[in-house]
Amino acid sequence: MDEERREEKDFGADVLCGANSYNEKYYFNEKFANLPQAVKDELHVMCVLYTEECGGILTLEFLADGTLVLRTRADDYDFYYDEINAGLGISKLRQEKKELLEQLELYYRVLFLKEEI
């Protein structure tokens, strides 16, 4: 999947959570409050560690078809942000958290898109 191309054309994504290294904040969308606390905690740690290591802003967003996208970006003035390192960090997260991310997609498709399993 070519996430960068997809993210440019997929507006109106449903943000699950995100972390921002600039103001050192974490955001969790209360729309997904029914997720187990252990999952919320894992997402929190995952996002914060990523932004501490790679910088910039990381968001996890559900697209209209239920695909979960890990989107990273940096402020224009951030000359320390390394796009290559950020991309490698996303690949590492996708590999290490594959099962969690797949389960989150299934959760979204069933509960929000009302798809049959």
Per-residue pLDDT tens digits for 19-58: 999 999 999 999 999 999 999 999 999 999 999 999 999 9
The mean predicted confidence, pLDDT, of the chain is 91
pLDDT tens-digit series, residues 64-79:
999 999 999 999 888 8
Quick one: tokens of 116?
A: 């049959």
How much of the chain, in percent, has pLDDT values that exceed 70? 90
Residue located via tokens 């290591």: 53
| Contact residues for 116 (Cβ-Cβ < 8 A; gap 6+) | none
Report the amino acid identity of residue 17: C
pLDDT at residue 1 greater than cutoff 50: no
The model scores a pTM over 0.75: yes
Q: Residue ranges per domain, the chain?
A: 3-109
